[in-house]
Amino acid sequence: MQNLAYTAQQIRAAEQPLLDAQEHPDELMQSAAHAVAQVAESMGLPGRVLVLAGKGGNGGDALYAAAELAMSGREVDAWPVFGTAHERALTAFRNAGGTVVEAPEGEYALVIDGVLGLGGAGDLPARILRATEDATVLSVDVPSGIDADTGQRGGNHVTADVTVTFGGWRLAHALAPECGIQLLADIGTASTCLHDQLRLFDGTPIYRASGTDRAWPEGISALGPAAVPNPEPGFNDDKYTGGVVGIRAGSGSYPGAAVLCTAGAVTATPGMVRYAGPQALEVVRAHPEVVAAETLDQAGRVQAWVFGPGAGADDAASRELEWVLGQDLPVLIDADGLTLLEQHTHLRDLVQRRETPTIITPHDGEFARLREALELGESNRLAEARELASALQCTVVRKGRATIVAHGSGSAEIIDAGNSWAATPGSGDVLAGIIGARMAHDGAQDPQRATDGLAASICIHGMAARLAAETPWGEAQTSASVIAGHVRAATARLIG
């Protein structure tokens, strides 16, 4: 199945023909419940199971799954958290030997969250959250309290260890880390399946850069990374044919930004990396393979530019960014370059008028300042990213645990890093270098293709952060330079 995510409205529309074609009541619900039960068993948690059952179909999925678990010999309690639950599923659960309780009693190894699901968001009663404490949580469809379309969370919401969904992904599965490990199972009736119905709709590609390596039951797949091409040069390639990236980063105040950005590029490509800026000597000391110059016009020919990490935001830096934007080449703008865009209308106008791709890479704080500079409204992270991309007619890479790639055309991709170890100073500089190298490679023959490899580059960065955090005793804190040092290993891991 493809890595496409759909809105709640699309999911409901795709489900309706299956509901109409059911040969017996709850056929589709029981198909979903079987997948939930399979996942619950595969998690291998001995001990009691508690089902949190809401009033609707999500609670019915959980209760039918609980009935299957009870029939297999598991000790299962079900708590109708709002006092009532799906009647046929509740009867099936009782008939299977399950116990309906008025409140949780004792300790549970596994809690199955079937409170709200696809249509539910907002705050949950605190008593429901208390039931999930000190237990592993398996959510059905979407963790309760998480909006399926935006990933926004209520003040009280479930944080799952694993979430299993059906037919196609929901946007929240990439936008909300509260989903934990994201799993997908197809469901259907005797005549058709939900995945086939969803083919009729346009989805949004979503990915997870890093995750667990465990096996899941047949027919159940985990959200995985974007396709990463093999970077090995061809028989007739040389240091130029793979694309040359130029980097303008660093200053006397931030010399490390130049070193980290070029490190990201050097480790992401076998092609040439050029550096232009005041830290030329420091860059060459750290990376002798880089061809360095002190000014932009001395840098030599490149196929893409990266501008901004640590470059400063004074008048001289503004003139440099104006020069870069005047080149008929793909350009990535990060960090101080984003501050310049925020402060100077004429630079934003240049971005809007460019015919070759421009990529901006703000974190949420930088994004908010740009949004305010353009007088755009507040909404959710995905909608805001799309609006900014449209306003600037560029590609926005809104960085975070969930990174959103939004294009001026309105299309988008979402990448869950699968870990949060990249939340460390300088990590964004490394990412800018990785993306810049890929831009130069993909745009070497056709500059309009320079954005093709964005999801792959972001996945490499996310996997590198996870590998950088690994120690013989488990995962621990890491740093940007260590992340850069694991880009090659991450690339190999993702193409393997």
Give the C-alpha separation, 202 to 265, whole Å.
34
Judging by beta carbons within 10 Å of its beta carbon (0-12, 13-18, 19+), is residue 183 exposed, middle or buried? buried
Residue list for the binding site: 257, 310, 363, 399-403, 428-429
Q: Which residues contact 240 (CB under 8 A, 6 or more apart)?
A: 271, 272
What is the distance between the alpha carbons of residues 85 and 475, in angstroms, rounded to a whole number? 41
Q: Enter the tokens of residue 102.
A: 């008025």
Binding residues for (6S)-NADPHX: 257, 310, 363, 429
Name residue 360's amino acid: I
* CA–CA gap between residue 88 and residue 59 (Å, rounded): 11
The strand pairing partners of 79, in sequence order, are 52
Q: CB within 8 A of 214, min separation 6: which ones?
A: none
User: Do residues 436 and 267 lie in contact, with contact meaning Cβ atoms separated by under 8 Å?
Assistant: no
Using CA atoms, how far apart are residues 396 and 388, in angstroms rounded to an integer? 7
Q: What DSSP letter does each residue of 125-165 carry, written as one string?
A: PHHHHHTTTTSEEEEESS-TTB-TTT--B-SS----SEEEE
Residue 18: HSE in the Cβ half-sphere, 13 Å Cα cutoff: 26
Question: CA triplet 296, 406, 459: central angle to 5 degrees?
Answer: 80
Annotated binding-site residues for AMP read 399-403, 428
- Cα distance between residue 354 and residue 318, in whole Å: 17
CA 362 to CA 372: how far, in whole Å? 13
Q: Do the Cβ atoms of 242 and 422 come closer than 8 Å?
A: no
d(CA 352, CA 385): 16
Sheet order of strands, 49-53 included: 99-100, 76-80, 49-53, 110-114, 136-140, 162-166, 181-185, 220-222
* Six-digit token string for 356: 């070759």
For residue 396, which of 381, 416, 379 has the smallest C-alpha distance? 381
